[in-house]
Structure 1
Amino acid sequence: MTRTVDPPTTLPRTLARVLLGSFMMFAGVGHMTFLRRDFQAQVPMWLPLDKDFVVLASGVVEVGFGAALLALPRQRRTVGWVLAAFFVAIFPGNVSQYLTHQSAFGLDTDGKRLGRLFFQPVLIALALWSTGAWPRRRR
């Protein structure tokens, strides 16, 4: 069985991937420790799960994504697609925080909470671009 290896990456993509991986690990640890209550504010009320469980589980997942971004360069495209899907999946929590006027992470006004919504597409694009998952234009 022949295994396809991702082509070499560029320095900017590698730096972005390392930065994103480090950010994911930091956020994941924050979910499980000092940012736990803030992250609970983003769990939608309609989600039929315990908020603390959701925050802890997503923290574990985020640490895993961070580690995968940093330690699995051969699977970087797959990690990029799955991470982008994760960012899409957690977006309703950001919308819920805006709609329910929940203050967390210094997002204590509707304007700040609304601005946060526009950051999620940036994370999705960064996950795809930094891992090479975003299809390159063919010349």
Structure 2
Amino acid sequence: MAHGPVLTMPVVAIVAQVLLGLGLLGAGTGHLTVLRRQFQAQVPPWLPLDADLVVVASGVVEVALGLALLVVWRQPARGLVGAITAAFLVAVFPGNVAQFTEQRDAFGLDTDLARGVRLLFQPMLVAWALLATGAIPVLRRLIRR
């Protein structure tokens, strides 16, 4: 019987990590291609950077994180990828807030209610990244060093 880090993880964690990786890979690809304009609606107007540059840069990061989530399975690297993913999701949250406060339509979010509900999902994505990758115990060990 084969043994390895992936086989000893709970199936739920494996599936959750793969789904998050595929989601980020898809979103990142969308940033760089057909959804580029819509993602620009999420760039806060107060950010002193070109909206397209922000969309492209965040798309590249999402593709990289998505790929990392799909290929990195050994701790502590797996947990670090999860922590970095969670930090990225926190860093882009102002874009979701800006879409709500500026009442910008994108991705079918064309009402305040829809944009507000979308805001509730970002903390869940952060938790997903941390829990699916075992990031919290890894970070605890690093802090205790």
Do the structures match in fold with TM over 0.5?
A: yes
Aligned-pair CA distance for 1:73: 1.1
Structural RMSD (CA): 1.8
Identity of aligned residues (%): 56
- 1:42-85: per-residue Cα shift (whole Å, max 9, x none)? 00000000000000010000000000001111211000111101
Matches within 5 A, 1:1-139: 8-74=8-74, 75-135=77-137
In 2, Cα distance between the equivalents of 1:63 and 1:31?
9
Q: TM-score, normalised by structure 2?
A: 0.87
Count of residue correspondences: 132
Aligned-pair CA distance for 1:133: 1.1
- 8 Å Cα contact 1:9/1:132 also seen in 2: no
Instruction: Structure 1 unaligned segments of length 5 or more: list them.
Output: none
In 1, Cα distance between the equivalents of 2:16 and 2:39?
24
In 2, Cα distance between the equivalents of 1:76 and 1:88?
19
Aligned-pair CA distance for 1:9: 1.9
Aligned-pair CA distance for 1:134: 3.2
Q: TM-score, normalised by structure 1?
A: 0.90
Aligned-pair CA distance for 1:135: 3.9
Q: Which 4+ runs in 1 deviate beyond 3 A?
A: none
Q: Secondary structure at the match of 1:73?
A: coil
In 1, Cα distance between the equivalents of 2:120 and 2:68?
25
